[in-house]
Amino acid sequence: MRSRVILSVLATATVLAAAEPSPPAKPPDLPSSDELYEAGKSLFDAYAPPEVKAQYEFPSRKRWNDFATRLQQALDNNDLAALAAYENEARAALAALRVLPGYEDYADWLGVRLDYIEAAKEAVRRSALRPPVSRPGRAVVTIPYYDLWLARVRARPRPARADELIPILRAAFVAEGVPPELAWLAEAESTLDPAARSPVGAKGLFQLMPDTARALGLSTFLPDERADAEKSARAAAHYLRTLHEKFGDWPLAFAAYNAGEGRVRRLLAARSAHSFAEVADALSTETRMYVPKVCATIAVRTGVAPGDIPAPGA
């Protein structure tokens, strides 16, 4: 019971921070948001270890809402330095989430965002040390920050669940006519946690939003099939195949998977562009980090470079 209450606290506070214009009504059998918040604060005070309390004070509603809103804004804009500035706050929040029962699924979500924050900090540092210069005759880099993410992914071990889950995901991708190497997108999305969830409603290995999941034929209520490895993988693979058919290459398909195909299509049209590199600087910081992270993860885990990933059905 304690875990369910704490989980509800975080979900309620963070979804409120996302400022949805018309939130759904609270079912009558659930505690009020004030009751959930106070329960969570009491449990934090009672159970969080001293070393965590030294790093992180359970926030007031306003402080948590401010942090969640500001972090999401930093992820949504295209200022890498602004995103990098959230490193200390995100680390402190993650330390608290990791030790409180019931917070694990949201902690995985924040852990992935901290990965983006750290990469953004490194990207800013590299730009300051080595400003980009024009080198006539050299090929243009097609995926900005790909080398940065290669170094990061090479330094980390395979996720603990990889041996269990990747064969299932690969088989599902093959069944949908999509290169099985792309199954590793789940590591970039959720660190291979089938229960991972975001404060705005994405869930599962491939972090599908409810509307997207339902459009792909998945149930999102009792049971929520986004947590089913095989079914969610087939849905994600089908979606990726559709995006590749629309955009013509995998980096743009990954960008559309993360940012939405409408946004990517509008940017391509506005710039008369045909590649991710041509629109990357106008995309959100999250998407600018996401695409090279996915490409680097596939390359490190499978040995297949981004330019060598075959088209669907090839």
Least trusted range by pLDDT, from 4-13, 149-158, 236-245: 4-13
In the chain, pLDDT over 90 holds for what percent of residues? Answer: 51
Q: Average pLDDT in the 260-280 region?
A: 94
Q: Hey, what's the torsion of the CAs at 50, 51, 56, 61, to 10 degrees?
A: -30
Of 92 and 155, the structure prediction assigns the larger pLDDT to 155
Q: Which of the 8 DSSP states describes residue 13?
A: H
Residue 23, classed as helix, strand or coil, is coil
pLDDT of residue 102: 63
The pLDDT tens digits for 40-56 are 667 677 777 777 677 66
How far from 143 is each of 32, 135, 191, 297, CA to CA, in Å?
46, 17, 22, 13
Average pLDDT of the chain is 80
The whole-angstrom distance between residue 255's C-alpha and the CA centroid of its chain comes to 12
Least Cα distance to 241 among 170, 287, 308, 178 occurs for: 178
Examine the pLDDT at 303 and tell me if it is beyond 90.
yes
Examine the pLDDT at 179 and tell me if it is beyond 50.
yes
Q: What are phi and psi of 62, to 5 degrees?
A: -65, -45
Least trusted range by pLDDT, from 6-10, 189-193, 216-220: 6-10
pTM of whole model > 0.95? no
Determine the Cα–Cα distance for residues 234 and 1; give it in Å rounded to an integer. 34
Determine the Cα–Cα distance for residues 247 and 265; give it in Å rounded to an integer. 8
pLDDT of residue 200: 76
3-class SS letters over 227-287 = HCHHHHHHHHHHHHHHHHHHHCCHHHHHHHHHHCHHHHHHHHHHHCCCCHHHHHHHCCHHH
Rg (CA), the chain: 20
Is there a contact between 43 and 100 (Cβ–Cβ < 8 Å)?
yes
Residue 39, classed as helix, strand or coil, is helix
Determine the Cα–Cα distance for residues 207 and 218; give it in Å rounded to an integer. 13
Examine the pLDDT at 185 and tell me if it is beyond 70.
yes
The pLDDT tens digits for 201-210 are 889 999 999 9
Least Cα distance to 115 among 188, 56, 204 occurs for: 188
pLDDT of residue 250: 96
Is there a contact between 105 and 196 (Cβ–Cβ < 8 Å)?
yes
Determine the Cα–Cα distance for residues 233 and 172; give it in Å rounded to an integer. 6
pLDDT of residue 135: 40
Q: What structural domains does the chain harbor? A: 1-138 (no CATH), 156-314 (1.10.530.10)
pLDDT of residue 241: 97
Of 126 and 27, the structure prediction assigns the larger pLDDT to 126
What would the DSSP string read from start to end of 41-103? Answer: HHHHHHHS-HHHHHH-PPPPHHHHHHHHHHHHHHHHSS-HHHHHTTHHHHHHHHHHHHHSTT-
- Amino acid letter for position 156: R
Is there a contact between 40 and 9 (Cβ–Cβ < 8 Å)?
yes
